[in-house]
Amino acid sequence: MLAGAFRLSSSSRLAFRGVTTTPVAALERSSPSLGGLVGVRHYNFASKPFRDCYGNLPVPDGAKLRADTVAYLNDFNPKLWYDDPVTTILNAQHLTSGQLEKTVDAFACENGNIRLATDQEIDRIITHMKTFKPEKDYREGVRAAEAELLSEFPHQLIGNQALDFLKQDGVTEIEESLQANTVERRLNDQLLQDEIAGKVDICRAPAFVGPVSNFSNFLDLCRKVLRNVELGVPVVVLSRENTTQHMYRWFQMLVRLFQKHGVDTGLLTYASASKEGKQKLFNANPDGALYITSSREVAKLIKSMHPNTVSSTGGPNTLVAPKMTKEIADAVKLSAMIENSGQCTALRHACIPDTTIKDLEDIFSDAPTVSTPQDALSAGAFAGVFEGSHQAPFELLDGYSTHPDNSSIAYRQSSTLPPNDISEQWRQTYVDLTSPKASEFGTDEMVGSLAKWLVRNQPITLAMNIGHDGDMGYARKLFEQTGQVVYTVGFEGSPALTCQARPQEGEVFGEFPIRSQLGAHTKYPVVVPSPTAGYNSHYNIEFLQNKGKDSSADGELGQLLSSVDSSAVRGFCLLLNEYLADAAGAHRGDGSKTGGPNRTILYGLQRPPMNGEDTVLRCSDSTSYDELVPSLVPFFVTNAWSNCRISVDPSNSALVEKLKAVESLQGKVDIEDAAAFAKRRETTSFYNVVAPEELADGTNTKSLEDFPLVGHFVSLYFPLGHIKSTRVDDEKFVEVFSASEKWLKMRV
């Protein structure tokens, strides 16, 4: 039994507005009919069955969540986290041989005890990982446990997070999680259906979950743990150096509920481990995916330690406006200060013409402050700077000034764009302000310069505000020349902030590394929503071989595939083509019945930025035609083809001859050795350079015997995500942006 995990009164059950069924039923709405779904494209981003997974979502009662959480915090006894220390849990058993150490919260204040596992206890985890044999389907029991956890104990999840991370608004995370979980359960159903049909193999090596500090209740508990284990993928949740208390508490709750609902607790391991202990676990389980959300520096380091890492990374989120107004000033302030600058979508950079350092001083002159998480929750606050006993540590960087009234806010202003790779300064409010001349704003030169900076630095979000004339021209040009996942177009009366995205409505979310450096940080970009186990799944080789033998293509694609030797490669390429034909174009999201803001949403696959920079498929002296063609197909069959080139080493005569035989490739192939290509890169800016050996440079599969899900494979090359208007039913916005050539379209 797990101590200290549950505190519940009969009044704590979560209420759902507009839902007449019980909370369990509200969480477990039946999936849309799976009859008649096409091929194996069910769960791949933007496909028709993917789009059908939206809608019919529960609407939680946020006011009750907030009130119950405040009551929980008021009654919380801090001794609990000392008396019941964070401890390794293996198959519901506590391993207690390690020495006690102290834990700290987000601001480095001591808040409890942790017992790090001994070497012998790490070995016990490794033995369990290697010997535990899961079943393939635990959905019934896991979803019953999930429904009880999120209907009866959400106030504890929010409260523990508020105490540990000092989160001001954990209510919104739970509200969005309840809805996004419904969408992702439906996607999981489709993934499992394909495995049962013999089309996909889900890898059931234990998955590692490195929890994120600020959004753990959704990203870790729900997306990475529950969605994996319900499909039979065991998980090992890893402790953190800070803010580890609140995710340990949800892990305790989960074990208890698994026992109650008859789910094998061998699926759940909590590793309270040192860095050395974690590395030992990684080394023992190389096939297991490691899921993390972190800075780019951390992701790159961890990816070098564990190649099967699937990471989400931050970036300098940017807001653009043609003029500084009171609304825009408030948008900058709220975007920059959200969660004491502790949200992945927090603003780091603004571009507003004719602004000065005095404007920044004025923006933050009335910056809200917060004394405790209880106060923030009671007031409905989400963008305050903590002060007093909860004040966050602050480091002043060279070149920045602190606000005269608040030393926890810093900024700098320049007429030119910031340098590349500006520091995120997590939990510290920092703003870089770019101030072009008003006469330059919206010009091709200004837009092009900003767009190239955005490509080089890859923010998560770009908020583009429109002037009083309503002209969206500059925003469309920025959209077309960049590759963000989240775009927001705001207007007078409803300005765009950087911190706006509701993936359960089609406001698809993702934290992508810089495209040209993607492979150093992650196996695939992470898209929300998606079925998490799919990131470590592959197509069944016999299924692909049969498809390659039994199906064919004509026209230009048929000629391209005619020289492919492997039937499995041919089958994979045909699947790619079918998926792209199904998913291409701009699709409408719908936020009208979810209880949140009702914005006008377009989402879908996009071609690489239309900025004159090419993607180059660089083939070495040993690259085979079969290795090249899968990476070539997504470009070849779509409008992305106009910005794709193939570079081949002249000594690879076999590949050169096959490429010459394909009529549609004429004029697209450059024959050059490694030295010549390197010299060309010194003077030519490319969007991306891909070595296609073993399906994207061997980063994502071990050989041409492993073929990833087509949606994940395409995401290695193409931007994807959403753009939204802050207005309701904004048909003018839809007209302007749905007509953009940025949306991926079929060419052949």
Spatial neighbors of 64 by CB under 8 A, at least 6 apart, are 14, 15
Q: Identify the bridge partners of residue 433 per DSSP, sorted by sequence position.
A: 350, 413
Of the candidates 469, 466, 498, 493, the one whose C-alpha atom is nearest the C-alpha of residue 331 is 498
Q: What angle do CA 50, 53, 56 make, to 5 degrees?
A: 160
Peptide bond preceding 418 in cis form (omega within 30 of 0): no
Identical fold between 19-288 and 317-505+722-738: no
Domain map of the chain by residue range? Answer: 19-288, 317-505+722-738, 515-720
Q: Which amino acid is at 540?
A: N
Spatial neighbors of 19 by CB under 8 A, at least 6 apart, are 26, 58, 59
pLDDT for res 33: 35
225: DSSP letter: I
Spatial neighbors of 113 by CB under 8 A, at least 6 apart, are 81, 82, 85, 86, 100, 101, 102, 103
Q: Where are the alpha helices (DSSP H) in 153-266?
A: 154-165, 170-196, 216, 227-229, 245-260
Distance CA 40, CA 200 (A): 8
Homologous superfamily of domain range 317-505+722-738: Aldehyde Dehydrogenase; Chain A, domain 2 (3.40.309.10)
Structure tokens given for 115: 């017992």
Query: Is residue 647 helix, strand or coil?
Result: strand
Low-confidence ranges of the chain (pLDDT < 70): 1-41, 694-704
The model scores a pTM over 0.75: yes
Distance CA 458, CA 497 (A): 17
For 496, half-sphere exposure in the C-beta direction (CA atoms, 13 angstrom radius) is: 31
The CATH number fitting domain 19-288, selected from 2.40.30.10, 3.40.605.10, 3.40.50.920, 3.30.1330.20: 3.40.605.10
CB contact at 8 A, 427 and 340: yes
Distance CA 9, CA 152 (A): 9
Distance CA 317, CA 94 (A): 42
pLDDT for res 694: 59
pLDDT for res 211: 95
Distance CA 683, CA 697 (A): 24
Whole-angstrom CA distances from 2 to 93, 112, 163, 264 are 9, 17, 20, 16
Check residue 698 and give left, alpha or beta (phi > 0: left; psi -120 to 50: alpha). left
Structure tokens given for 29: 């709405």
Distance CA 157, CA 373 (A): 14
220: DSSP letter: I
pLDDT for res 3: 34
Check residue 743 and give left, alpha or beta (phi > 0: left; psi -120 to 50: alpha). beta
Of the candidates 253, 273, 240, the one whose C-alpha atom is nearest the C-alpha of residue 84 is 253
Query: Is residue 637 helix, strand or coil?
Result: coil
739: DSSP letter: T
CB contact at 8 A, 60 and 19: no
Q: Which amino acid is at 224?
A: K
Residues present in the chain in total? 748
Distance CA 271, CA 212 (A): 15
Distance CA 130, CA 601 (A): 45
Q: What φ, ψ does residue 700 adopt, rounded to 5°? A: -110, -15
Tokens 């197509």 sit on residue: 539
Tokens 């753009």 sit on residue: 723
pLDDT for res 176: 92
Give me the sign of the Cα torsion angle 76, 79, 82, 88.
negative
Buried b (16+ CB within 10 A) or exposed e, 339-372: bbbbbbbbbbbbbbbbbeeebbeebbeebbbbeb
Distance CA 457, CA 513 (A): 9
Query: Is residue 540 helix, strand or coil?
Result: coil
Peptide bond preceding 286 in cis form (omega within 30 of 0): no
Distance CA 216, CA 210 (A): 10
